[in-house]
Amino acid sequence: MTFTDTLPRRSLRDEVFEILHKRIIAGEIRPSEWLRQEDIASQLGVSMTPVREALDLLVASGLAERELYRGVHVIELTRVEMLDAYGLRFVLEPPAAWKAAENATPSQIEELKHLLTGTLELVHLDDMSHLRELSRKFHAAIIAMCDSPLLERVYTMASNKFPDWMLYEAMFHHPDALADSLHLEQEQHRAILEAIAGRDPQAASCAARDHILTLGKDLETYLTIPRALIKQKELQFSSQPIQIE
C-alpha cells in the first residue's frame, strides 16, 4: 500500500478518512490489508492523531475491523455474512419504512430530501465514496424515524456486514453499467421518500422491499454470488410487509 497524496496541515480526521475510504472502494486497498498508522501518517504528512481517528471512523463505517494488539485491517466479508445481512435487510427495512410513513416529522422528511438531492450529481467513479456515505445516511435516517435505539443498533450491525462498498468497488470494473445502476438506485430512493412524505405506509414498505430485491440482483451481477443462494435468503426472510406497532 502506497500513498502519493499529501494533505495541507489544516486537514485532519475527515480528510484522512475520505482518502482511505475512496481507496478501499476503488480497490486500491484490498480486503484483509492492514492499515498501519505510522505509514499512513508519514505518507500523508499528518500526525498520528487524525490517522487514529480516521481509522476509528473506518471501523464504525463497517469498512475495517480492529484486532486487539494487532491494529486495523480492511474487512473481508464471507459469503455467509453477506447473504445473512441481505436477508436481515428484508426483516428490518420494509417495516421500518412503513413506520416512517406514519411517524416522520417534517424536518425528518426534509433531511431525506436533502440526502437524496445530494446524490443526484454523484454519477462518476470518483463519486462512489461520497455516494456510499449519503446512501447509508439515507437508509439510516429512515430507521431513525422508528424512534427505536435498539432497532438502530441492530440495523447498524446488519448494514456493516452488507457489502455495499464492494458493490461500488465493482462499478469501477463495470463502468458501462454505472449510469443505469445509479439511476435505478436514485429512482428507488425517490420512491421510498415520496411514499414516506405522502404518508403511505404500504407504498413505502413495498418500495423498500423492491430496493432490497435490486440489491440482491447486484450481489449476483457484481459479486457473482449464485442466484440460488440469494433466492434462498429471499424466500427465508421476504414476506408481506408488516407494520411496526
Q: How much is the pLDDT for 244?
A: 43
Alpha-carbon distance of 97 to 100, in angstroms, equals: 5
**Mean pLDDT per 10-residue run, the chain (245 residues)?**
54 86 81 94 93 92 88 92 93 96 96 95 81 90 95 89 84 76 92 98 96 94 93 80 44
Go through the domains of the chain in sequence order and give each one's CATH number.
Answer: 13-74 (1.10.10.10), 79-237 (1.20.120.530)
Q: How much is the pLDDT for 195?
A: 98
Question: Which own/partner pairs from 224-229 qualify as long-range (CB within 8 Å, at least 24 positions apart)?
Answer: 225/79, 225/82, 225/83, 229/79, 229/83
Question: Which own/partner pairs from 71-74 qualify as long-range (CB within 8 Å, at least 24 positions apart)?
Answer: 71/34, 71/35, 71/36, 71/37, 72/34, 72/35, 73/32, 73/33, 73/34, 73/35, 74/24, 74/29, 74/30, 74/31, 74/32, 74/33, 74/35
Q: How much is the pLDDT for 123?
A: 79
Q: How much is the pLDDT for 24?
A: 83
Q: How much is the pLDDT for 245?
A: 45
Q: How much is the pLDDT for 178?
A: 78
Q: DSSP string covering 143-169, please?
A: HHTT--HHHHHHHHHHHHTS-HHHHHH
